[in-house]
Amino acid sequence: MNTYSDEQKDALRAIARESVEHGLDHGEPLPVDTDNLPDWLQEPRAAFVTLEKNGELRGCIGTLEARRPLAEDVAENAYAAAFRDPRFPPVTQDEWPDIDLHISVLSAPEPMSFTSETDLLRQLRPGVDGLIIEEGRARATFLPQVWEDVPDPIVFLRHLKYKAGLPPEYWSDTIRAWRYTAERM
Task: Write down the pLDDT at residue 2.
Answer: 60
Q: Which domain holds residue 150?
A: 110-184
pTM above 0.85, yes or no: yes
- Whether residue 1 is contained in a domain is answered as no
pLDDT, mean of residues 157-183: 97
- Whether residue 157 is contained in a domain is answered as yes
94 with 134, same domain: the answer is no
Helices and strands counted in the chain (H then E):
5, 8
- pLDDT greater than 70 at residue 162: yes
SS3 state of residue 47: strand
The mean predicted confidence, pLDDT, of the chain is 96
Domain CATH code at residue 136: 3.30.1490.150
98 with 142, same domain: the answer is no
Q: What is the pLDDT of residues 120-130, one digit of tens each?
A: 999 999 999 99
Domain CATH code at residue 37: 3.30.700.20
Q: What is the pLDDT of residues 26-40, one digit of tens each?
A: 999 999 998 999 999
Task: Write down the pLDDT at residue 1.
Answer: 54
The total domain count for the chain is: 2
41 with 102, same domain: the answer is yes
26 with 83, same domain: the answer is yes
Task: Write down the pLDDT at residue 3.
Answer: 87
156 with 96, same domain: the answer is no
